[in-house]
Amino acid sequence: MRRVVVTGMGALTPIGNNLHEYWNGLREGVSGSDLIRNFDATLFKTRFACELKGYNPENHFDRKEARKMDLYAQYAHIAADEAIRDSGLDLNTVDKDRVGVIWSSGIGGIETFTSEIKGFVTGDGTPRFNPFFIPKMISDIAGGLLSIKYGFRGPNFSTVSACASSTHALIDAFTYIMIGKADIFISGGSEAAINEPGLGGFNAMQALSTNNAEYKTASRPFDKTRDGFVMGEGGGALIVEEYEHAVARGARIYAELVGTGLTADAYHLTAPHPEGLGARNVMKQAVDQAGLKLSDVDYINVHGTATPLGDISETKAIATLFGEHANKLNISATKSMTGHLLGAAGAIEAIAAILAVYHDIVPPTINFRVPDPEIDQNINITPNKAQARIVNVALSNTFGFGGHNASVVFKKP
C-alpha cells in the first residue's frame, strides 16, 4: 500500500479567512461567536453564531460567476484555491488524469433552497425558478465545479455523513491513493447553513446553545454550564498526495496520514452512544491501521461540540480506550473557537491537528470555567490557553447525526 501525505491546506473560518489567520486564531484562543448579522434572528431562540467575518463574494468571484454558486460552493473554491497555492503544485505539468476531488457538505445549498422557495410562496403562484436552482443546491456540485475549474479528471464525488462528512472525504482520498486510483486529491468540506431554516431547525432539535446573554463564550465544551453547540460556517481543503509523488516534486510535507477509522453507533437518530462505544471503536481502528500503539498518541482534536451528552460520551470513550495514557495526552475542542461547521468540521479540525503536529503546539479549549463532575478531570482538555508540547501523533475525531463516526491519524513525516 502506498503512503499518503498532506502537502497543502486552505481554510476559510469564523476566526480567520485563510490558513495563517486560522492558525493564529487557534493559538490565541479567539472566539468566532457573535450576534447574527446576515439575517434578523430576533425571534429565534438562538440569536448568535460563528459567521465568517467580512466575507464579500465580489472579492473572490465576478458577479456573474458568484450568482451561479451557492455560498457553500463559493467557500469550497476559496479554500481549495489556497490549498493548491500552498502545496506548490504546478498545474501545467501535473497529470490531471491522476488528480481527483472528493468534497463534502452535510447540507449543501440550503441558502439557495431557502431563497427559491421564499420566492415561489410569496409570488403569484406561477412556478418561476432560477435555472441554476438545482445545480446550486445539490451537495456534490462543489466538487464538480472544482474539477471543471482545474481540469482534474480523477475520481470525483461527494461524501455526506452529517458532521462527519469531510472526515469521510479525507478517508476516501487516503484509501484511493493507497490503492493506486490517483496520486493527488483535493479533499475537504464546506458549509453555509447559518440562515433561517438552518438555525430554526437546530433550535427545534434543542441542539443549539441559547445562551444569548453570553454569546461570545457560549461554545464551552466540557464545561458544566454548556447547553449546546454554536453554528459555524466556512470551509477547509487539504491536498492529499502519494508520498513518492510529493518527494519527487520537492513538496513540503506537513504530516503523513497514517490511519483511519469508520464506525457506526447503531444507537440513536441524534444522540451518541452513552458509553461512547462507536467513538471508542473508531479511534482504536484508526490507531491500529496506523500501526501505532495507543501510547503513541500525543493529541486528540475531539469532536467536542459542547452538547450535554456528546462531551460526556466522547471523554468516556477516550478514558476507556486509552486507560492510564488518557491522562498523559492532550485533547482540545476547537469548536469552542470556530463553532460547529457541520459537514466542514472534519476538514478544518484535521487542519488544526496537522498544524499541531507541524508546530508542536496544542490549540486550546476556550470558555472553560466550571468542571463537570461527569467528565474525567484527569484528562487534559488544554483549558483556555494553547500548550507547547512535542506532538508526534495526532488524532482527529468527527461524529455525525445518524451515528456516523470517523477518525484520522496524522504523524510527523
- Residues acting as catalytic residues: 163, 303, 340
The widest CA-to-CA distance across the chain, in whole angstroms, is 67
Mention every residue, 6+ apart, whose C-beta is less than 8 A from residue 40.
Answer: none
Task: Please give the grid coordinates belonging to residue 77.
Answer: 473554491
The candidate with the shortest Cα–Cα distance to 211, out of 51, 326, 46, is 46
Cα–Cα distance for residue pair 120/372, rounded to 1 Å: 48
Q: How many Cβ atoms sit within 10 Å of the Cβ of residue 267?
A: 15
The backbone region for 79, taken as left when phi is positive above 0, alpha when psi lies in -120 to 50, beta otherwise, is alpha
d(CA 51, CA 38): 8
CA distance 255 to 235: 20
Give backbone dihedrals phi and psi of 408, rounded to 5 degrees, phi first.
-130, 145
User: Phi and psi at residue 140, in whole multiples of 5°?
Assistant: -95, -5
Measured N-to-C along each axis, helices 277-289 and 308-322 cross at an angle, to the nearest 10 degrees, of 50
Separation CA 108–CA 196 (nearest Å): 15
**Number of other CB atoms surrounding residue 320 within 10 Å:** 15
Buried-exposed string 323-334: b where 16+ CB fall within 10 A, e elsewhere: eeebeebbbbbb
Task: Determine the length of the chain.
Answer: 413
Residue partners of 270: CB distance under 8 A and separation at least 6: 205, 207, 401
